[in-house]
A = this chain, B = another copy of it.
Amino acid sequence: MLTVFCVRACSGLAGFRTATRVRSMHSLPGITVAQIDEEVAKLLQLKAQIGGDDGKHQFVLKTAKGTRDYNPKQMAIRERVFNTIISCFKRHGAETIDTPVFELKETLTGKYGEDSKLIYDLKDQGGELLSLRYDLTVPFARYLAMNKITNIKRYHIAKVYRRDNPAMTRGRYREFYQCDFDIAGQYDGMIPDAECLKIVHEILSELDLGDFRIKVNDRRILDGMFAVCGVPDDKFRSICSTVDKLDKMPWEDVKKEMVNEKGLSEEAADRIGEYVSLQGGMDLAERLLQDHRMSQSKQACAGLSDIKLLFSYLQLFQVTDKVVFDLSLARGLDYYTGIIYEAVLTQAGAAPAPAEAQNGAPAEESVSVGSVAGGGRYDGLVGMFDPKGRKVPCVGVSIGIERIFSIMEHKAEVSAEKVRTTEVQVMVASAQKNLLEEKLRLITELWDAGIKAEVMYKKNPKLLSQLQHCEESGIPLVAILGEQELKDGVVKLRVVATREEVDISRADLIAEIRKRTSEA
Binding site for B on A (CB under 8 A): 1-2, 5, 7, 9-10, 13, 15-28, 31-33, 35-40, 42-44, 46-47, 49-51, 53, 59-65, 67-72, 75, 78, 90-104, 106, 120-125, 127-128, 130, 132, 142-143, 145-147, 152, 154, 159, 161, 163, 175, 183, 185, 187-188, 191-192, 195, 198, 202, 313, 316-318, 385, 387, 421-424, 436-437, 440-441, 444, 447-448, 450-454, 457-459
14 A-B pairs (CB sep. < 8 Å): A5-B42, A18-B35, A20-B43, A25-B50, A36-B47, A59-B387, A60-B106, A63-B146, A93-B424, A95-B421, A187-B458, A313-B440, A317-B440, A318-B444
**Known A-B contacts A21-B18, A26-B53, A188-B459; A444 and B101 likewise in contact (beta carbons under 8 Å):** no
Asked if residues B98 and A101 are in contact (CB atoms below 8 Å), the reply is no
- CB closest residue in chain B, given A52: B2
Asked if residues A385 and B61 are in contact (CB atoms below 8 Å), the reply is yes
Asked if residues A72 and B99 are in contact (CB atoms below 8 Å), the reply is no
Asked if residues B13 and A422 are in contact (CB atoms below 8 Å), the reply is no
Asked if residues B70 and A97 are in contact (CB atoms below 8 Å), the reply is yes
Asked if residues B61 and A146 are in contact (CB atoms below 8 Å), the reply is yes
Q: How far is the CA of A120 from the CA of B122 in the complex (A)?
A: 7
Asked if residues A5 and B100 are in contact (CB atoms below 8 Å), the reply is no
| A219–chain B nearest beta-carbon distance, Å | 21
- CB closest residue in chain B, given A151: B457
Q: How far is the CA of A85 from the CA of B98 in the complex (A)?
A: 19
Across-interface contacts of A59 in B (CB, < 8 A): 106, 385, 387
Q: How far is the CA of A356 from the CA of B230 in the complex (A)?
A: 64
Across-interface contacts of A159 in B (CB, < 8 A): 101
Q: How far is the CA of A146 from the CA of B60 in the complex (A)?
A: 10
Asked if residues A122 and B123 are in contact (CB atoms below 8 Å), the reply is yes
Asked if residues B18 and A99 are in contact (CB atoms below 8 Å), the reply is no
- CB closest residue in chain B, given A56: B29
Asked if residues A317 and B64 are in contact (CB atoms below 8 Å), the reply is no
- CB within 8 A of A447: which of B39, B44, B91, B130? B91
Across-interface contacts of A5 in B (CB, < 8 A): 42, 46, 49
Ranked nearest first, the 3 interchain pairs of A and B with the lowest CB-CB distance are A187-B457, A72-B95, A67-B100
- CB closest residue in chain B, given A454: B93
Contacts A18-B20, A316-B437 aside, 6 further interface pairs with beta carbons under 8 A come to: A20-B39, A26-B53, A36-B44, A63-B103, A92-B447, A191-B440
Across-interface contacts of A43 in B (CB, < 8 A): 20, 36, 39-40, 43
| A21–chain B nearest beta-carbon distance, Å | 5
Asked if residues B20 and A100 are in contact (CB atoms below 8 Å), the reply is no
Q: How far is the CA of A24 from the CA of B50 in the complex (A)?
A: 11
Asked if residues B422 and A95 are in contact (CB atoms below 8 Å), the reply is yes
Across-interface contacts of A35 in B (CB, < 8 A): 9-10, 18
Across-interface contacts of A13 in B (CB, < 8 A): 28, 31
- CB closest residue in chain B, given A37: B47
**Known A-B contacts A10-B31, A19-B21; A93 and B453 likewise in contact (beta carbons under 8 Å):** yes
Asked if residues A64 and B188 are in contact (CB atoms below 8 Å), the reply is no
Asked if residues A39 and B18 are in contact (CB atoms below 8 Å), the reply is yes
Asked if residues A163 and B125 are in contact (CB atoms below 8 Å), the reply is yes
Asked if residues B18 and A24 are in contact (CB atoms below 8 Å), the reply is no
Across-interface contacts of A1 in B (CB, < 8 A): 53
Asked if residues A457 and B191 are in contact (CB atoms below 8 Å), the reply is yes
Across-interface contacts of A125 in B (CB, < 8 A): 120-121, 163
Across-interface contacts of A36 in B (CB, < 8 A): 18, 43-44, 46-47, 50
**Known A-B contacts A47-B36, A51-B33, A97-B70; A28 and B15 likewise in contact (beta carbons under 8 Å):** yes
| A312–chain B nearest beta-carbon distance, Å | 8
Asked if residues A23 and B16 are in contact (CB atoms below 8 Å), the reply is yes
Q: How far is the CA of A143 from the CA of B62 in the complex (A)?
A: 9
Across-interface contacts of A64 in B (CB, < 8 A): 100, 102-104, 128, 130
